[in-house]
Amino acid sequence: MRKGKLISLVTGMAFMLAACGAPAEQPAPTTAPAAPTQPPAAPTAAIQVVEATATPVPTLPPTTKFKEAPDLAKLVAEGKLPPVDQRLPEKPVVTPVREAIGKYGGTIQTASWWPGVGNVLLYISEPPIKWKADLTGYEPGLAESYEWSEDGKTFTLKLRKGLKWSDGQPYTTADWKFWWEDMVLDENYKGTVSRPAWLRKSDGSLIDMEFPDDYTVVWKSDQPMWINPFYMAQGFWEFANPMMKPAHYLKQFHPKYASDKTYDDLQKADQWWLNPEFPCLFAWCLTELSQDGQNYKFTRNPYYWRVDEQGNQLPYIDAIAVEIVQDEQVRILNCAQGRYDTAFRICGSPNEIPLLREKAEAGNYRFLENYMNGAGAWPGYMVNQYYVEGGKNYPDDTPEMAAEIRALLRDKRFRQALSHGLDRERMIDVVWGGIGEAKGATISPQSWHFASPEGQEVYKKWASAYANFDPDKANALLDEIGMKKGADGFRTLPSGKPFELVLDISDWGGSLKVQVDAAAEAKAQWEANLGIKVKVNNLQGQPELDTRTNEGQYMLRGAHISEIDIWTYPDWIFPIVNRYMFPLEGRWYASGKDQCKPVEGQPYSCGVKPEDGSPAAKLQALYEKGLRTKTIEDRHKVVWEAIDVIIEEGPFVIGVAGDQPMPIIVKNYMRNILDYGVVGPWAPATPGNQIPATWWMDK
């Protein structure tokens, strides 16, 4: 595979599956357009905010007779379940299939590496607003529609009439009201409820939420909320975990309604991914969890609200069985042996692609060829922009020493020298076996901010900035700074004091080996090419890793950088939280700016206010400009403005490589799976954005 070329290699996991049942009623398989062999073309214009009709939704003839899975039909015949047309909402969501109308039956066998099975929850959960399948914008999901007021300070969400929980109880604004009034506003409850910044007014207090009827939820704030509702689309942790609250079920555990219960009882019950009794709204709900927590089973929801184009209630597949396999090498071996039916995020890194290809025929699986990691940098090296004492990087770890190192790290000439001092092509050969694109650090190339032709030019400019290997230029910049070489051949600080650049690493990105190998090569190159002495600080599993980052005590840290929508995860561009390249400037912003009261004896408890005209100040101002910007197209332009600042003042992350293909594999009999996705950033919930309820097993 040629490095420097954007290639999508996705490996699908092979799954041991249960026998499939009868086909969904069909005269003959009706074939939809096949999955693309290449990723969907980027749109020529940015997406505009619309009320709720971003994608035309097909409808069924009024005479359509709904059909259902054989196991559900049996329960209906036995009087244990209402007829299918009584279980569906008034207007079921008609969902086109990619290849053909499916057959009912089968159990997907897959795996996860930790209790909580987040990689599977990504494609089970369906929020009110979801990502489009091609990641070019948002569209209604669980909600029927949504809209903003002219000034953006009021957001109205419409629920689907007749929607039901998996136990058959109605899903209405009563559930939202319970979540808001009895959980969010109840400060005694510390469980899985959402009280994030995106549900707050300008003064930090929570927005107002009203419920004028059974199907309408109204958000009100004193500032525009053009971006806020899109947070619900970002992975299961933004809607499913904190906001999906069945009032009829949870009230029996809430001390307000059940005097014999405690908030601990409520918190234990309030975990849909661990509690088989918890009613859900998705295609499959958790129904079995082994006593040792090593096996999960999610079973078809008989009240699921989507149907295919012939009126067959989805999902086609009966269940999803998940085993916990913590050892990555064991998971990779299982993938190679064809143990799993679908494998997203569990077959290792791009380095496993050759082995998995070799075993594909014997394992009866195929690769999804157009799934990328979406890394803007993997690895990348964040450069701390407000280095302070306390990290014990030097014996003389004094404020004075820290100030000199801080000045060096904040000098863009130093950062540019580090970037020009790396031979990225060699690093890709060493770390990735030639897989990946040599580039400077960006966010994901597939981000919707770059979908237009103008956006593509912005991306190319950013990716190429300071990314060429030019040791002569790098050394000239270091000479200009005043970093002289000592008798040992290593450069000193401008003051003449010895200097050692400390590089913190961990398994960020999902592979410790990648970070270890890359750091060793970066150390060798910076020492040989630039005369900068480097210490690699492997902090895998150590609690001080994040402390050093968040407290501003690190110099460089290895990272994996990716994101599709920077407005719902601003951190990689806008310093508004306490982490990454601007941890202390971000803490100042997140702590209420000048409203924060410092803790005595902790000089950085409120962070550090950015100096006027500094990169952090410019980027924070652009973030606030974006929050006030009404249209999606104009918000993309604000992102481009911020990227201009990063190019002019940066780099703040030294990128090495990016956009690696990922090993995503599926069994040869799996159907209707879109061959396009980005699995580095979790927020778009890939592959959940493509409606896995339409997948089926052709066997």
Between strands 107-112 and 103-105, the pairing is unpaired
Q: Where are the beta strands (DSSP E) in 457-563?
A: 501-505, 534-538, 556-561
Bridge partner list, 15: 340
Q: Among 36-40, 101-105, 537-541, whose mean pLDDT is lowest?
A: 36-40
DSSP 8-class letter at 458: H
Residue 225 lies in a domain: no
Angle between helices 615-628 and 583-590 (to 10 degrees): 40
Angle between helices 615-628 and 632-649 (to 10 degrees): 180
Mean pLDDT for all residues in the chain: 91
Whether residues 307 and 342 fall in one domain: yes
Residue 227 lies in a domain: no
Q: What is the dihedral of CA 628, 632, 634, 639, to 10 degrees?
A: 90
pLDDT of res. 133: 95
Whether residue 33 has pLDDT greater than 90: no
Q: What is the dihedral of CA 67, 69, 71, 74, to 10 degrees?
A: 10
Residue 43 lies in a domain: no
Whether residue 1 has pLDDT greater than 80: no
Instruction: Give the residue numbers spanning the domain of 666.
Output: 10-22+62-126+282-373+662-699
Give residue-wise pLDDT tens across range 559-607.
999 999 999 999 999 999 999 999 999 999 999 999 899 999 899 999 9
Residue 29 lies in a domain: no
C-beta separation of 72 from 303 below 8 A: no
Angle between helices 453-464 and 632-649 (to 10 degrees): 20
> Which residue blocks in 246-292 are alpha helix, DSSP H?
247-250, 263-269
Q: Among 16-25, 104-113, 333-342, 423-432, whose mean pLDDT is lowest?
A: 16-25
Residue with tokens 């490996």: 11
Reading the block at residue 366, the tokens are 């195929």
410 Cβ partners below 8 Å, 6+ apart? 385, 386
SS3 354: helix
C-beta separation of 308 from 94 below 8 A: yes
pLDDT of res. 27: 30
pLDDT of res. 19: 35
Residue 666 lies in a domain: yes
DSSP 8-class letter at 279: -
The order of strands in the sheet holding 284-289 is 107-112, 319-324, 295-300, 284-289
Whether residues 538 and 612 fall in one domain: yes
| φ, ψ for residue 471, nearest 5 deg | -60, -30
Give residue-wise pLDDT tens across range 185-226.
999 998 878 788 899 999 889 999 999 999 999 999 999 999
Residue 398 lies in a domain: yes
Whether residues 686 and 654 fall in one domain: no
pLDDT of res. 194: 79
C-beta separation of 168 from 303 below 8 A: yes
C-beta separation of 302 from 87 below 8 A: yes
Q: How many domains does the chain have?
A: 2
237 Cβ partners below 8 Å, 6+ apart? none
Q: Tell me the mean pLDDT in the region 5-29.
A: 34
Cis preceding-peptide flag for 279 (omega within 30 of 0): no
DSSP 8-class letter at 180: I
520 Cβ partners below 8 Å, 6+ apart? 536
**H helix count then E strand count, the chain:** 19, 29
* Whole-angstrom distance, CA of residue 514 vs CA of residue 496: 34
Give residue-wise pLDDT tens across range 349-402.
999 999 999 999 999 999 999 999 999 999 999 999 999 999 999 988 899 999
CATH number at residue 80: 3.40.190.10
Split at pLDDT 50, 70, 90, the class of 55 is low
pLDDT of res. 28: 31
Whether residues 588 and 645 fall in one domain: yes
* Whole-angstrom distance, CA of residue 443 vs CA of residue 462: 10
Going from the C-alpha of 517 to that of each of 19, 435, 511, 585, 628, the distances in angstroms are: 44, 14, 10, 31, 43
pLDDT of res. 663: 97
CA-closest candidate to residue 698, choices 674, 678, 673: 673
Q: Tell me the mean pLDDT in the region 478-496.
A: 97
Whether residues 328 and 443 fall in one domain: no
- Please list, residue by residue across 103-115, b when 16 or more beta carbons sit within 10 angstroms of its beta carbon and e when fewer do: bbbbbbbbbbbee
C-beta separation of 493 from 555 below 8 A: no
Whether residue 555 has pLDDT greater than 90: yes
Whether residues 675 and 621 fall in one domain: no
Split at pLDDT 50, 70, 90, the class of 662 is very high
Residue 157 lies in a domain: no
Going from the C-alpha of 112 to that of each of 296, 504, 568, the distances in angstroms are: 10, 27, 26
* Whole-angstrom distance, CA of residue 14 vs CA of residue 666: 5
* Whole-angstrom distance, CA of residue 154 vs CA of residue 218: 7
340 Cβ partners below 8 Å, 6+ apart? 13, 14, 15, 16, 109, 110, 111, 334, 346, 665, 667
Whether residues 302 and 424 fall in one domain: no
Whether residues 392 and 498 fall in one domain: yes
Whether residues 693 and 633 fall in one domain: no
Whether residues 387 and 365 fall in one domain: no
Reading the block at residue 368, the tokens are 């999804």
C-beta separation of 404 from 496 below 8 A: no
Residue 257 lies in a domain: no
CA-closest candidate to residue 12, choices 316, 509, 320, 347: 347
DSSP 8-class letter at 237: T
Whether residues 369 and 400 fall in one domain: no
Reading the block at residue 261, the tokens are 């219960």
Whether residues 420 and 357 fall in one domain: no
C-beta separation of 225 from 152 below 8 A: yes
CATH number at residue 412: 3.10.105.10
Whether residue 40 has pLDDT greater than 90: no
Q: Among 34-48, 131-145, 292-306, 420-434, whose mean pLDDT is lowest?
A: 34-48
pLDDT of res. 47: 28
pLDDT of res. 56: 64
Reading the block at residue 153, the tokens are 């300070």
Neighbours of 500 (CB within 10 A): 12
Q: ∠ at Cα 135 (132, 138), nearest 5°?
A: 45
